[in-house]
Amino acid sequence: MNGENLGEFAVRRAGVSDAEALVRIDSVVARGDAERGASIRRWCREGLVTMAEDASGALGYCVVEYTFFEQGFVTMLMVAPGVRGRGVGARLLADAAGSRTTPKLFTSTNVSNQPMQRLLRRAGWSPAGLLHGLDDGDPELFYLCPQEPGRQAPGASS
């Protein structure tokens, strides 16, 4: 995964030194959300971020945490607005699925986020539930990553 060449862009683990580049491409930060910038810096310090980049710099990032009922959860998937539609999000999701350390990997998105829902459907993720109350008037849809054939829980025997 580190420095993996994907033709037009590469995917690798982000470090602390990458945080400011990720802050600069985040559309939520661009709208003035300073807390998101602080989260990006923390995620990078904690080693939770995978990023996509090309010769021009950062294209997107994905954060996977393992605090959702002790399963993996894609906490954040962000692709720079100018490069959406190039497969960056799909590649970051595939990387998260392939490198997960738990049998299940979840994510969520708002009902209003149609592009993310389309991406998840194309990637084979299944709807797993709906939660009201996080964002007023915009419920959160939860998705489950498809299981890899033959994948078992760590420590399980056949």
Digit-coded pLDDT (tens) for 119-155: 999 999 999 999 999 999 999 999 999 986 554 544 4
Q: Alpha carbon 137 to chain centroid distance?
A: 24
- Mean pLDDT for the chain overall: 90
**How do residues 4-35 score in pLDDT, each as one tens digit?**
434 589 999 999 999 999 999 999 999 999 99
- Which helix (H) or strand (E) is 141 found in, with range? strand 140-144
Q: What pLDDT score does 155 carry?
A: 44
- Cβ contact 36:42 at 8 Å: no
- Cβ contact 48:64 at 8 Å: yes
**How do residues 53-88 score in pLDDT, each as one tens digit?**
999 999 999 999 999 999 999 999 999 999 998 899
- Cβ contact 49:18 at 8 Å: yes
Measured distance CA(93)–CA(88) in Å, rounded: 9
pTM: 0.87
- Cβ contact 96:72 at 8 Å: yes
Q: What pLDDT score does 85 carry?
A: 87
Measured distance CA(29)–CA(127) in Å, rounded: 28
Measured distance CA(128)–CA(144) in Å, rounded: 6
Q: What pLDDT score does 5 carry?
A: 39
Fold type of domain 4-144: Aminopeptidase (3.40.630)
Q: What pLDDT score does 147 carry?
A: 84
Q: Is the pLDDT of residue 3 over 80?
A: no
Measured distance CA(88)–CA(78) in Å, rounded: 9
- DSSP code for 31: T
Q: What pLDDT score does 86 carry?
A: 87
Q: What pLDDT score does 96 carry?
A: 97
Measured distance CA(43)–CA(62) in Å, rounded: 10
